Amino acid sequence: MAIGCKDPQRWTTRCFDHFLGASGQVLFRKYPDTLDTLLAIAIATFIPMTHLSVNLNKVALLRNARTLDLPSVLWAAETCIEAGAHGLTVHPRPDERHIRRRDVYELAELLQAHPTLEFNIEGNPLEPGFMQIVRDVQPTQATLVPDDPNQFTSDHGWDIHKDGDVLKPIIEALQDIGARVSLFMDPDPEQIRRIRPLGVTNDQARIELYTEPYATAHREHRADAVFGDYAEAAKVAQSEGLGVNAGHDLNLENLPQFLTIPNILEVSIGHALTADALKMGLHKAVQAYLAAL
C-alpha cells in the first residue's frame, strides 16, 4: 500500500500518467502489483500529496447565531485534527460575522500541541487588524484575499497589475515573520506571471486558485469548458516556482476531477464539508474528504 495514500492504485496510475503518459498506463496494466509496490516508495518520497485544510468559518457562523459557545470552534478543530486533517483555515473578517479575533488566538494555542499541522489565516491585508493578527499568531500560511468588508463571500482574485505596489511591502512583512505567502488568484496566467516580481523570495510561496467558477461549471455539467484554464494556470504558477493551492466551493463531487491537475498542494474546504457534516458527522466528513484526495 502506498504510504500516506488513501487509494494507492489511483495514485499509482496518476503518477504514471503524469510522468510517462500512455506508455506508463500500459506498464501499469501489465505489472500492477510490482509497480504499485515500487511507486509507493516513490510517491511518498517525491510526489507532493494534496493536503486538506478545513475551513472553520461556517462552524463559527452557526455558533454566532446564539450567545452560547455552541458549536465550539475549538471542539470542531480538535475533531478535524483527530480525523486526520492536515491543517485548519480561518478568515477573520472585520465584522466578525463568523470567525472572531479571539478564535484565531485560541486556535493558535491549540495548534501548539500539534506542530505538524498547518494554520492558514485568510483575509484582506488592507483591512484593519488583519496584519496585527498575523504578526501575533505567526501562522504557517497567510492567504491574502482581495475582498471588501461588505462582500458576501470572496469572489475574485488579485489584480496584480493594479494592486502589486500595495502588496509588495505586505509580502515582505509576512516573509520577515516566516509566514508562507499565498495569493488568492483567478486562473489568469498573465496575472500569475506578475507575482514573482513583487519580491516573493520564499521558495515556498504559493497561490490559491479561486475555484468557484469551476465548481459552478461542474454543477452545470460543463466543467470541461473551464477545467483547461485551471490546469494551465497551475502549470504557469509551478513554472514560476509558486506552489498551487485551491479553494472555494470544492466538494466531494467536483474535487476528484480538479485534483487530476498535477501537484495541487492544498485544498481549503469549509462550506461543503460543514454541510456534509450535518449528514454524516464532522469526523466522518473530514475522513470522506481525505479519501477524495
Instruction: Compute the residue count for the chain.
Output: 293
In degrees, rounded to 5, the angle at the alpha carbon of residue 162 between the alpha carbons of residues 158 and 167 is 65
CA-to-CA separations, 9 to 14, 29, 240, in angstroms, rounded: 9, 11, 31
On whether the CB atoms of residues 144 and 183 are closer than 8 A, the answer is yes
Residue 98 CA from chain centroid, whole number: 19
Does residue 248 have an active-site annotation?
A: yes
Q: Which three cell numbers stand for residue 265?
A: 498542494
Q: Which of 208, 218, 248, 266 is catalytic?
A: 248
Nearest Cα neighbor of 194 from 151, 162, 160 is: 160
On whether the CB atoms of residues 138 and 179 are closer than 8 A, the answer is yes
Nearest Cα neighbor of 195 from 244, 230, 259 is: 244
Q: Which of 91, 98, 208, 218 is catalytic?
A: 91
Q: Which of 51, 86, 118, 122 is catalytic?
A: 122
Q: Which three cell numbers stand for residue 123?
A: 483575509
Nearest Cα neighbor of 77 from 95, 65, 89 is: 89
Task: Give the orientation angle of helix 282-292 with respect to helix 271-280, to 10 degrees.
Answer: 120
Task: Just list the catalytic residues.
Answer: 91, 122, 248
